[in-house]
Amino acid sequence: MDFRTVGLTENEYKTILRELGRTPNETELRLFGVMWSEHCSYKSTRPLLRLFPIEGRAVVQGPGENAGVVDLGEGFGLAFKVESHNHPSAVEPYQGAATGVGGIIRDILAMGARPVASMDGLFFGDPELRKTKVLRQGIVAGIGGYGNAVGVPTVGGKTVYDEAYTENPLVNAFCAGVVRLEDIVRSDTAQPGRLVVLLGAKTGRDGIAGAAFASVELAEDTSASRPQVQIGDPFAEKILIECCLELLEKRLIDSMQDMGAAGIISSSSEIAAKSGVGMTLDLDRVPLREKGMTPWEIALSESQERMLLIVNPDRMEQVLQVAAKWTLDCTVFGETTGDGRFVMKAGGTAVVDLPPAFIGGNAPIIHWLSREPRDLEKRQRLEVEELSPPKDLGAVLRSLLKDPNLGSKTWISEQYDSMVQTNTVIGPGGPVSLLRVLRGDRSPVFIAFSMEADPWKCHTDPRGGGAETVARTLRSLSVCGAEPLGWTNCLNFPSPQDPEVFWEMRECVQGMADAARGLSCPVVSGNVSLYNETPQKKILPTPLVVTAGLLSDLDGFLPWSRWREGDHLFLAGMPNTALGASRYLLRTFGLLQGKILPFDAGAEQDFTARARRTAKERAARSARSLAGGGLAVALAKEAMESGIGARLDVQIPTRPDVFLFGEGGPRALYAVPPASLPLFRSIWRGSPLTELGVATGNILDVKRGFSLSLAELRDSWRR
């Protein structure tokens, strides 16, 4: 069998020959093809990921496990991670999205945590195209169909539209779970003489080589790739969750791994490699639902709802009893050894005999060429003075509210169960989602989640866009009063073999790392998804970030959209903005150009500290961090959702359209009751603060800007 047919490069094949001292057989070669794929090995991005800060005061478990864990106090932790399921969702929207949700839930479960919240980042093409509508309908239904049935609330998310995603939609699935710190499960705790157990669904041919499929660009005709998409069963997953949690509560297992990408080979070799043990597996003992499966098909199957357990032989009988209670298949099909070899047998013969660390983690790093895009100067060139400001800024605002990227997403979120488990305080639709976390018999704490992505800024200004993406999540958390704990990310990019793409990716990562360090917020987990392109189109550079923040109680939580008659409205933070890659520029002029405001760590630190103090001391009634659409869209959303208008008369320091629709930098819109004005002003003394006007009536009236009724605003937004 030729090494190229399984996706290996000549250099990789030579490395295998040199390390093994022999020619690998067909089964071994197929396993290397998947395990050394981009999706499993991160061979293109490992050096880049080292740029991220991974240590912090709250970090209990950083990158390298199924998920990261941060400390919630009182002996409890929050495990969380985001993963991509892009190619499968492009090929089979419903099952691709559904199994993405199922897979990330099992990653959290594999840490010993009970999954308590899900979110989704969705990127679609032109919303008017039939193809987009079909993909969107299937993907949204898949997320809702799986998440609703498995009993994990979908508490928020982000939806983006751009023609760059027409052929290659992105589905990034996030999950968080709660775990006692003493009960965290890790993959490096296996010892020789333990049993290797398969718990859950029977193994079939669905999803075989799915990880390798996710590591190449999509073909024009995606129908041939459908066999590489997994089939999910959320009811089976719910049973699996409860069974695993009972096994953990009774301390019956030593380690546990989700059988996701690359199935048995990935989960078993990772435990063997990290624990420094050998492992012998008998593939003939794996329960199958299809006849005639070859050893490599069994090893690489990505059938869903399965977990791999490491069990002390003395506890195996109890494990079988718990599995029987939950009506799950539970089969011993191997054991850990002290010989340092990873062996798979079939028909009584060894079909795989490899060093576990070599198959699981030693794919040679690929150092791709990096070159600044030839058109970067053109992308970043923007002479605002050459753009004639629109005469009717009210029409501009209404147009922005109709933009599918800024308009109402209620039709999506209403298909998801956001209240199951009854701990959701604030679900989808706001700047952050808020969840109550019960820590045993102790008082609850509250976790805020913020998800962000801005592919347009990352296209015109990759480093600045990467920093802005991270900073936005931290601003939103700080404005609502949460103390950031850590963040996870999914790096969605086209082929790294294109030097210009690799340059963009490196710059985005560097910008994200700069923001993380500048704001002392570490990365705890993440995922990389490359080759998101078709022969006709590449996606935009799309890093997605989810940051978690902690609130000890609701007294320190500052909500949004709570204006009352007579409240004073303020713009806190940087008064200067930029039109580069803004929604205003794209929507009004059709231009995707311009640099953004450079990341300023000092200004961000000052802003987030004052914002948290404002919330903690209850110095304002309402607040919203500014993002897409700038100040004008923030004003419109606050007015619509509060049910009260405003009269603003402010000396605009620049062009009205720049002031109203510019984006970037740490800024927030505050509503302050008269009695709180002295405290609010004292908190922001020494920092840029602009008094805008007063909340009143049912018209949003901005002198020298626009005057629109709440009814007009709502009509535009709901369209």
**Residues composing the chain:** 719
Contacts of 602 (CB under 8 A, 6+ apart): none
State CA 686 to chain mean position distance. 36
Decide if 367 is catalytic.
no
- Render the burial of 320-329: b for 16+ CB within 10 Å, e for the rest: eebbeebebe
Closest CA to 521 of 598, 604, 439, 603: 604
Give Dmax over CA atoms of the chain in angstroms.
83
Q: Exposed/middle/buried for 4, CB within 10 Å: 0-12, 13-18, 19+?
A: exposed
DSSP letters, 168-184, are S-EEEEEEEEEEEGGG-
CB 602 within 8 A of CB 645: no
The Cα–Cα gap between 38 and 84 comes to 13
Which residue among 39, 87, 459, 568 is the active-site one?
39
The Cα–Cα gap between 314 and 336 comes to 15
The Cα–Cα gap between 226 and 247 comes to 35
Bin 64: left if φ > 0, else alpha if -120 < ψ < 50, else beta.
left
Decide if 85 is catalytic.
yes
CB 455 within 8 A of CB 540: yes
Which residue among 85, 87, 459, 568 is the active-site one?
85
State CA 617 to chain mean position distance. 32
Closest CA to 169 of 452, 532, 535: 532
The Cα–Cα gap between 228 and 715 comes to 43
Closest CA to 256 of 235, 239, 240: 240
Neighbours of 74 (CB within 10 A): 13
Closest CA to 478 of 428, 426, 549: 549
HSE of 155, CA atoms in CB hemisphere, 13 A: 31
Q: Which amino acid, 234?
A: P
- DSSP assigned state of 366: P
Contacts of 220 (CB under 8 A, 6+ apart): 534, 535, 536
The Cα–Cα gap between 512 and 460 comes to 15
Contacts of 251 (CB under 8 A, 6+ apart): none
The Cα–Cα gap between 666 and 605 comes to 9
The Cα–Cα gap between 368 and 365 comes to 9
Q: Which amino acid, 494?
A: P
**Residue 717 dihedral angles phi and psi, to the nearest 5°:** -65, -40
The Cα–Cα gap between 176 and 81 comes to 7
Residue positions annotated with a catalytic role: 39, 85
